[in-house]
Amino acid sequence: MSAGSAERTCCVWCPDWPVVAWRQADDALIDRPVVVLEPAAGAPVVRAASIEARAEGVRAGLRRREAESRCPGLVAVDVDPLLEARAFEAVARAVESITPRLVLDRPGRCAFPTRGPARYFGGDEEVATQIMSAVETIGVADVRVGIADGAFPALLAARGPGPGATWVVPPGESAEFLASWPVGVLRLAGDTGPGSGVGSGVEESPDAAGALADLLVRLGMPTLGAFAALSESAVTGRFGRTGARAHRLARGLDEHPPALTRPPPDLTETAELDPPAQRLDVTAFAAKAMADRFSAALADRGLACTRVVVEAETEHGERLSRCWRHDGALDAPALAERVRWQLEGWFAAPPSRRSCARPRAAQDDAAFEESYEPSTAGIIMLRLVPDCVVPATGRQLGFWGGDPAAADRAARALARVQGLLGPGAVTTPVLQGGRSHDERVRWVPWGEPREPARPDRDARSGIDGDPAAGDAPTWPGRVPDPAPARVYEPPRPAELLDAQGRPVTVTGRGECPAPPAHLRSDVLPDGGGTIAAWAGPWPEDLRWWDRLTRRRRARWQILTDTGVAALVVLESGRAALEAVYD
Amino acid sequence: MAQRVRPTVLAAERVVPVSGMLEGLLPGGGLQRGSVTALDGPPGRGVTSLALHLIAATTAAGEWAAFIDLDGSVGGLAAAEAGAALDRTAVVRGVPPDRWAAVTASLVDGLTMVVAEVPSRCRASDARRLTARVRERDAVLVVTGAWPVEAALTLRAMGGAVTGAVGGEVDGGWSGLTPEGGLLEQRCLCVAIEHRGATRTVALAG
């Protein structure tokens, strides 16, 4: 192997793994069009679609509603990384029966160097066939195998053939193989699975690779071959680190220059669990703290880890280990997530799959069984071993950053609470465009990018020549300021009555024949009271062009005689308390 | 050695300064680190606004704050209007009552200010343990609701309409919205400050 060239690698890829995992868990989903949704800014989008749904034109990245309109009868399920990881553990074991040096990318994709197995089985084609049959034995129908020089060409080779086929790129021909692929595939190298937005913050996100690919197409380089023909220094000068990394990939080299030194052994992080941990959450919690220490120790030396081995030891003396890889570098949240996925696989491996996964060749059955009975005993030790480290290209702290130690402490405390209650329990508000007070705030789980789902102002209006127009709010009919300190979502039941004690109504023209006189609600002190002053009704007719989602509402700002101000909304004849100016 | 030569910290230096409309009104000029402040008052009379103003004052000084929101209804827009730095403000929701003490203790460990709504059956032993934790970590805990033990400072929001306040009679409450028309504009909020047995009432222009 000459310096700079890539190690010969086999990539095993199960397309649409989220769908496969869900079908293994729930038989009712088999033979039906299924999509797996992941949360995105605003509405959930399709992460993976089954082949039936794809035939109807459903693609990853579509919004749920658009997917449903293209494919009637679509079943939508939510993304579940733990379920995917658990289901993929069976595949990992099947592949591991053939080669020990397995590296997991994410649930649904793994890779291993083929030098050893190819010599044992007598050629790359033989290895591919063995892998294929081993995985198909455990009941995974659609598996693709690609072998090439380097992880990225192997990944593309796995995508090349149709279902159930293999593609072996001859040694030394990776660059020619890559030349004809469109530059858009650079995006795949950064796609590291569900929740990648949380963990991949250290280097660059898949979006950066995607933006680069778009730019290259506009510059007249539609294929990787055209991009690879540029000089390396020119690419680095023009596109920076993202470009240099993509250029290495396009030329068929490994993403990082090969590491010349082994990682120092004292970076290994070990935690002993006493009493032995029988449950996933206990172990995952310990792993989270370990991941933080591990990352801090690496950062002290100016290193970042791209491959890590997760090892566990059980009470019965069994040792389990698995290697995870990440494009870019593993930071602490990404690392903790992978350890959690792995523990989930070990703790909850279904016995039926385990017996199916028994290897038919190469290894001793008894040894295999012995090494894979982890769920019989608690885990007494966890260890994180850096397998491949690269110099950290660094993360610049904010210039006005304040006290970085305080920020670290706060982040740790909030992460601990997220560990106790779930990630969605700790949120932070982001202001965005909208009319009512609940629409104007998006609650983002802590640690996720703070991005509004709707713009607050129209970005285009500033360009049209009138500079003042850039400041104009583009949400006419907003509920006026000040903002209420309590916003109920959904609104709490309330009664809005006129002087005769009848419910207040609003006509189709937005007029109120009898003005409101009393407001009653359990949320208010003393159950409400007489109305001293009011403003309204403010009618609101939303999406009148769409029969199904149309909403008609009217709002009042109300001040009771006890001095409590509230916002009351009337919809389809029922009044509700939307907010209290507490 | 480092312990021994550490410079003396005066009590006045261990204060989270409070600016904005509460400036100069709190004893010591701000919230004492390592102490518990109780917020009190009937619902709808400005307790939440007062809590948001305390968060705003803390985050404006570059510190981090969290709000434990039991019924999931605190308004993010109101926090922004009060002046809170939203990227340093976390809102914790969906806290089951049996884990409330653990969650609050974890937050006190890492954040400068924690505003916590207390569940109705908070045990006095939990409250005492939290008080000790707050003192040890030099944090500020602000509790609203039924706090079963004594707090160092109590702020009681009383809406408008209080007579005998400092500076004469206050005809507080909301202004702008009248029976003749108009919209809610601003509020004059009366707050009773109880500290070491003494109570005084001040009016805050919002």
Q: In chain B, what residues touch A441 (CB-CB under 8 Å)?
A: 75-77
Environment class of residue A289 by beta-carbon count within 10 Å: exposed (0-12), middle (13-18) or buried (19+)?
Answer: middle
Is omega for the bond preceding B97 within 30 degrees of 0, making it cis? no
Q: Given pLDDT bands bounded at 50, 70 and 90, which one contains residue A354?
A: very low
Interval B174-188 mean pLDDT? 83
**Cβ under 8 Å to B: A residues 367-426:** 402-403, 406-407, 409-414, 416-417, 420-422, 424-426
CATH code of domain A265-391 = 3.30.1490.100
Instruction: Please give the pLDDT value at position B76.
Output: 92
Is omega for the bond preceding A537 within 30 degrees of 0, making it cis? yes
Interval B142-159 mean pLDDT? 88
pLDDT in tens, A67-90: 888 888 888 888 888 888 888 888
Question: Which residue intervals of chain A bear CATH 3.40.1170.60?
Answer: 1-86+121-168
Interval A496-508 mean pLDDT? 89
DSSP one-letter code for B178 = B
- The closest CB to that of A420, out of B75, B106, B159, belongs to B106
Q: Do B75 and A489 touch (CB under 8 A)?
A: no
> For residue A159, what is the enclosing H or E element?
helix A151-159
Instruction: Please give the pLDDT value at position B188.
Output: 82
**For A368, phi and psi rounded to 5 degrees?**
-65, -50
ipTM of the complex: 0.88
Instruction: Please give the pLDDT value at position B143.
Output: 94
Question: Which residue intervals of chain A bear CATH 3.30.1490.100?
Answer: 265-391
Instruction: Please give the pLDDT value at position B9.
Output: 54
Measured at the alpha carbon of residue A518, what is the angle toward residues A516 and A520, in degrees to the nearest 5? 125
Instruction: Please give the pLDDT value at position A369.
Output: 39
- The closest CB to that of A441, out of B42, B62, B76, belongs to B76
DSSP one-letter code for A41 = S
Question: Among all residues of chain B, which has the CA nearest to that of A407?
Answer: B64
| Distance (Å, whole) CA B181 – CA A534 | 7
Characterize the bridge pairing of strands A109-113 and A8-13: antiparallel
Q: In chain B, what residues touch A421 (CB-CB under 8 Å)?
A: 92, 94-95, 99, 103
User: Nearest CA of chain A to the CA of B150: how many Å?
Assistant: 25
Environment class of residue A494 by beta-carbon count within 10 Å: exposed (0-12), middle (13-18) or buried (19+)?
Answer: buried
pLDDT in tens, A203-251: 344 567 778 888 888 888 888 888 988 888 888 888 877 788 888 888 8
User: Nearest CA of chain B to the CA of A433: how many Å?
Assistant: 11
Per cent of chain A over pLDDT 90 is 8
Q: Do B93 and A525 touch (CB under 8 A)?
A: no
Q: Do B80 and A431 touch (CB under 8 A)?
A: yes
Instruction: Please give the pLDDT value at position A376.
Output: 58
CA B86: distance to chain centroid? 17
| Distance (Å, whole) CA B182 – CA B187 | 14
**Directed axis angle between helix A332-347 and helix A81-96, to 10°?**
70
Interface test with A, best of B48, B77, B109 (most A CBs within 10 A): B77
DSSP one-letter code for A170 = P
**Cβ atoms of B149 and B128 closer than 8 Å:** yes
| Distance (Å, whole) CA A160 – CA A146 | 8
Q: Provide DSSP, A531-579.
A: EEEEEEEEEEEE-TT-TTT-EEEEEEEEEETTS-EEEEEEETTEEEEEE
N-to-C CA span, chain B? 49
pLDDT greater than 70 at residue A197: no
Interval A383-407 mean pLDDT? 65
N-to-C CA span, chain A? 71
Q: Do A489 and B94 touch (CB under 8 A)?
A: no
pLDDT greater than 90 at residue B128: yes
Interval A482-497 mean pLDDT? 91
Closest CA to A10 of A136, A169, A163: A169
pLDDT in tens, B22-67: 777 888 888 888 999 999 888 888 899 999 999 998 888 788 999 9
CA A555: distance to chain centroid? 38
Mean pLDDT for all residues in chain A: 78
- The closest CB to that of B64, out of A406, A443, A579, belongs to A406
Q: Given pLDDT bands bounded at 50, 70 and 90, which one contains residue B89?
A: very high
| Distance (Å, whole) CA B64 – CA B111 | 5
**Cβ atoms of A455 and A432 closer than 8 Å:** yes
- The closest CB to that of B178, out of A422, A488, A533, belongs to A533
Q: Do A557 and B184 touch (CB under 8 A)?
A: yes
User: Nearest CA of chain A to the CA of B172: how many Å?
Assistant: 9
CA torsion through residues A205, A207, A211, A213, sign: positive
Q: Do A441 and B181 touch (CB under 8 A)?
A: no
Interface test with B, best of A486, A521, A580 (most B CBs within 10 A): A486
Measured at the alpha carbon of residue A218, what is the angle toward residues A216 and A220, in degrees to the nearest 5? 75
Q: Do A582 and B44 touch (CB under 8 A)?
A: yes
| Distance (Å, whole) CA B196 – CA B192 | 13
Question: Among all residues of chain B, which has the CA nearest to that of A417?
Answer: B103
Instruction: Please give the pLDDT value at position A309.
Output: 86
Instruction: Please give the pLDDT value at position B105.
Output: 93
CATH code of domain B16-153 = 3.40.50.300
> Chain B contact for A454, CB < 8 A?
no
The residue that leads in pLDDT, A378 or B170, is A378
pLDDT in tens, A281-304: 778 888 888 888 888 888 887 777
Instruction: Please give the pLDDT value at position B1.
Output: 52
Instruction: Please give the pLDDT value at position A393.
Output: 58
Lowest mean pLDDT among A343-357, B78-92, B187-201: A343-357
Q: Given pLDDT bands bounded at 50, 70 and 90, which one contains residue A367?
A: very low
Interval B171-195 mean pLDDT? 81
Question: Among all residues of chain B, which has the CA nearest to that of A515?
Answer: B179
Question: Among all residues of chain B, which has the CA nearest to that of A566?
Answer: B44
Q: Given pLDDT bands bounded at 50, 70 and 90, which one contains residue B164?
A: very low
Q: In chain B, what residues touch A430 (CB-CB under 8 Å)?
A: 76, 86
The sheet that has A574-580: what strands, in order across it?
A486-493, A574-580, A565-571, A551-560, A528-542, A516-520, A495-498
Q: Do A486 and B109 touch (CB under 8 A)?
A: no
User: Nearest CA of chain A to the CA of B18: how many Å?
Assistant: 18
Interface test with A, best of B16, B68, B184, B190 (most A CBs within 10 A): B184
**Domain at A1-86+121-168, CATH from 3.90.1150.10, 3.40.920.10, 3.40.190.290, 3.40.1170.60:** 3.40.1170.60
pLDDT greater than 50 at residue A3: no
Lowest mean pLDDT among A340-349, A367-376, A508-517: A367-376
Q: Do A406 and B112 touch (CB under 8 A)?
A: yes
Question: Among all residues of chain A, which has the CA nearest to that of B65?
Answer: A410
User: Nearest CA of chain A to the CA of B72: how many Å?
Assistant: 8
Per domain, the residue ranges of chain B are 16-153
- The closest CB to that of B75, out of A406, A437, A532, belongs to A437
**Cβ atoms of B67 and B142 closer than 8 Å:** no
Tallying the residues shown for chain B, one arrives at 206
